[in-house]
Amino acid sequence: MIDPLTTLSSDLENLPRDVRVTQLRHLVETLRMADEIAVKGYLITSSELADLMDVNASAVTSRGDNWVWRNWVVSRVRREGNQILWQLERVD
């Protein structure tokens, strides 16, 4: 049976170096944005958090009220109208 994660990793390794570096730059920018959101105490919606994490919004809301993503604890703070608001807190 073919492992999709191994295949994906292998495919990424076969990309040209400049493409991999560009993807890494994008990742670092994403992590910087997450840090700024956490430091400044901004609340973000489920769809904004999903965009930040590069997942579907349903993947965010199905994780529960508190969970860890990379270097941040993600907490469901409150609901405003039909929007769930989330807060990021940096963990080291």
Please answer whether residues 59 and 15 qualify as being in contact, where contact means their C-beta atoms are separated by less than 8 angstroms. no
Domain count, the chain: 1
User: Domain containing 12: what range?
Assistant: 4-90
Considering the entire predicted model, what is its pTM?
0.79
Q: What would the pLDDT profile of 25-82 be if each residue is shown by its tens digit?
A: 999 999 999 999 999 999 999 999 999 999 998 999 999 999 999 999 999 999 999 9
What the block records as the tokens of 82 is 């039909």
